Structure 1
Amino acid sequence: MSLYDIARPLLFRLPAETAHSLGHTALRLSQQTPVRRLLAARYAVDDERLHTEAFGQRFPNPVGVAAGFDKNAEIPAALAALGFGFVEVGGVTAEPQAGNARPRMFRLREDEAIINRMGLNNDGAEAVGRRLSRRDVDIPVGVNIAKTEHVAPADAPADYRRSYEAVADGGDFFVVNVSCPNSQGFEELQNRDAMAAIFDTLVDAGADPLLVKLSPDLPEPAVEDTLDLVAEFDLDGVVATNTSTDRPASLRSPNRTEGGGLSGKPIEGRATEMVRFVAERTDVPVVGVGGVATAEDAYRKIRAGASLVQLYTAFIYRGPAIAREINRGLLDLLERDGFDSVADAVGADL
């Protein structure tokens, strides 16, 4: 039994956001101490078969942390020490935002899921950009860029550009978030003309590598429209997917009726099918996110076409050893199926 197994019942007695803040603080404090090296020695898995290249970046392994976990770029070094191959910070907005009223994060313990309606609370792009410029981390760090809530959809392209320019020097790749279900105005951005204007502005600003994050709730024609724009603007990748506003009938937790975006095991199958759908229709790398909790979950997304995978919810339920467990498990699965590397397994089921 790990220390996290002992601590988890105590943490789960606290409100979800409070527990997350405590864990976040512990990781932040560890970064400037010898604990960071001890964590890396315990959790990092260094094996050439896990090394991955995508959109011009080199990743020590394909398992990353999804946007939302480290909103303000405060703990990339600690997450690297826990064995993750990359981190996506944010969502970041041009102006600081307090987000929605609490409570705004809910555990669905029976379903190994989370519902959040955080509302893109963050310190603002300038503060995040300053932190990124001082970062001490040797894994790629991406920045998820979103629309400031009070900004009208017509003014969204300039707002995204302002955010990008504030974080440009510190990010290794940039993700356009037009699919957040927990902040006002995003539904109006999920159409071809609105996205084209945002992409055009960011490409003109020099954003590179540039990816777009999709909603799992988009109908297939809307996904195809987005992929047409990915090709038109020569974007570098697709993140599939964000959280979902749908509520599967299988949910058992009393918190299933809360509003917000659902993440975790209940959306794993849907997210993997979105990865497959996207990978069959584009040649750019796909980042698979949604319900990744085990090596088998990650491997399904990789075989469905994901070059990289991300997680968030599983960190809460499985603890700080999760990247190590998934990476070790991936090595076993690669060996079982005769693949020499993760790259060889990408899209094996297509």
Structure 2
Amino acid sequence: MIYEKALRPMLFRMSGGDAEEVHEWTMRRLAGISRRPAALSALRTVFSAQAPRTLFGVRFPSPVGLAAGMDKDGRALPAWPALGFGFVEVGTVTWHAQPGNDRPRLFRLRGSEAIINRMGFNNAGAQALAAKLAALGPLGVPLGISLGKSKVTPLEAAAEDYAASYAALKDHGDYFAVNVSSPNTPGLRALQDKDALGDILAALRGGKPVLVKIAPDLTDHAIADLLGVCADHGVAGLIATNTTLGRGGLAPSDEHLASQAGGLSGRPLTGRAREVVSFVSRETGGRLPIIGVGGIGSADDALRMLDAGASLLQVYTGLIYHGPGLVRSINRAVAARS
């Protein structure tokens, strides 16, 4: 409540309302906290919770993770477990460092509790992230690493691009997510095609669990085809879902932003993300672990996502609108149900 009543209004007014500037300000503060053991200890006292589970050989102290995109370059990694996250996914990282798309590229849709982004995988590159993770050492919770294709790499060389990033980072991640579903890199979603995806998965060898992150805009038939490729290559799990190109469910106050290019996340995605999770769970007989992400803004949303078939959860947009109290409330609700 303190976050929603006091801190969020202040953040949303900062820098003239420029969402990316506020994100950078927040990341700098969290990076500073990450270097202060006393501050981390204080946060753990308030936010930590235990509801452990083990999936694909990895033990998660609680089911709520930070989704990729918030901390692309691992700038504030120690802060996230202190805020109650049971795992953290960094990235999306690419083999080549890249600045991403032109700004502005991040927009808040306040009435819809949503965000549109067209960041374009801005990151310092896989080798820079590997050096940072090597210096940091163990995080204390599982670390996922989201891999994407460099913009300069042609689609026909995508498998080699993903494999180069994986080779540089495989000793540092507890699992790896293959991001072929962002709408903000030209042609990337074509890599969800079964032949292209099969080539990428075949190139990622090294023993670490590999998951695939899919778009909510796929048809059931396309998802079923994708699941067949995942089964053929021994994929450890699925992340459902990424942002959507759809613009349904926006509040009237946000309709003027509907024409902005990019992926939509947050409250308008809640129902569709849950539908995809439910479909995947049914198609696989509940045997394939699913990380459910998309529009989780309350403990009730989280429990319904778990009921749909998710084994773990991720939040991003919900954190922006509701603060770290959201993570604590979800963890407590899950623990109470156990």
CA deviations on 1:111-142 (whole Å, 9 max, x unpaired) are 00000000000010001111222334200000
How far apart, in 1, do the equivalents of 2:207 and 2:150 lie?
Answer: 18
Q: Do structure 1's residue 52 and structure 2's residue 56 form an aligned pair?
A: no
1:279 to 278, 281, 286: 281
Moved more, 322-331 or 259-268: 322-331
Matches within 5 A, 1:262-301: 262-282=264-284, 283-301=287-305
Q: In structure 2, what is the equivalent of residue 123 of structure 1?
A: 124
1:37 to 36, 41, 55: 41
Q: Would the aligned equivalents of 1:142 and 1:171 in 2 still touch at CA under 8 Å?
A: yes
Q: In structure 2, what is the equivalent of residue 327 of structure 1?
A: 331
Q: In structure 2, what is the equivalent of residue 199 of structure 1?
A: 201
Gaps of 5+ in 1: 335-340, 342-350
TM-score by length of 2: 0.95
Displacement after TM superposition at 1:256 (Å): 2.4
How far apart, in 2, do the equivalents of 1:240 and 1:188 lie?
Answer: 17
Q: Would the aligned equivalents of 2:299 and 2:326 in 1 still touch at CA under 8 Å?
A: no
Displacement after TM superposition at 1:3 (Å): 5.2
Q: Would the aligned equivalents of 2:84 and 2:324 in 1 still touch at CA under 8 Å?
A: no
Matches within 5 A, 1:71-220: 71-135=72-136, 136-202=138-204, 205-220=205-220
Q: In structure 2, what is the equivalent of residue 344 of structure 1?
A: none
TM-score by length of 1: 0.91
How far apart, in 2, do the equivalents of 1:140 and 1:71 lie?
Answer: 16
Q: Would the aligned equivalents of 2:240 and 2:291 in 1 still touch at CA under 8 Å?
A: yes
- Stretches of 4+ moved more than 4 A in 1? none
How far apart, in 2, do the equivalents of 1:251 and 1:148 lie?
Answer: 34
How far apart, in 1, do the equivalents of 2:150 and 2:250 lie?
Answer: 34
How far apart, in 1, do the equivalents of 2:141 and 2:22 lie?
Answer: 26
How far apart, in 1, do the equivalents of 2:172 and 2:5 lie?
Answer: 35
How far apart, in 2, do the equivalents of 1:221 and 1:133 lie?
Answer: 41
Letter matched to residue 279 of structure 1: S
Letter matched to residue 57 of structure 1: V
Q: Do structure 1's residue 248 and structure 2's residue 248 form an aligned pair?
A: yes
Q: Would the aligned equivalents of 1:4 and 1:320 in 2 still touch at CA under 8 Å?
A: no
Gaps of 5+ in 2: none
Letter matched to residue 29 of structure 2: A
Q: In structure 1, what is the equivalent of residue 307 of structure 2?
A: 303
The DSSP-based 3-state class of the residue aligned with 1:58 is strand
Displacement after TM superposition at 1:150 (Å): 1.2
The DSSP-based 3-state class of the residue aligned with 1:12 is helix
1:25 to 25, 28, 32: 28
How far apart, in 1, do the equivalents of 2:149 and 2:159 lie?
Answer: 9
How far apart, in 2, do the equivalents of 1:113 and 1:297 lie?
Answer: 15
Letter matched to residue 248 of structure 1: G
Q: In structure 2, what is the equivalent of residue 61 of structure 1?
A: 62
Letter matched to residue 316 of structure 2: Y
Question: Quick one: percent identity of the two aligned structures?
Answer: 44
How far apart, in 1, do the equivalents of 2:323 and 2:146 lie?
Answer: 24
The DSSP-based 3-state class of the residue aligned with 2:91 is strand
Displacement after TM superposition at 1:239 (Å): 0.3
Letter matched to residue 93 of structure 2: V
Displacement after TM superposition at 1:298 (Å): 0.7
How far apart, in 2, do the equivalents of 1:187 and 1:35 lie?
Answer: 41
How far apart, in 1, do the equivalents of 2:135 and 2:56 lie?
Answer: 23
Displacement after TM superposition at 1:197 (Å): 0.5
Q: In structure 2, what is the equivalent of residue 225 of structure 1?
A: 225
The DSSP-based 3-state class of the residue aligned with 1:76 is coil
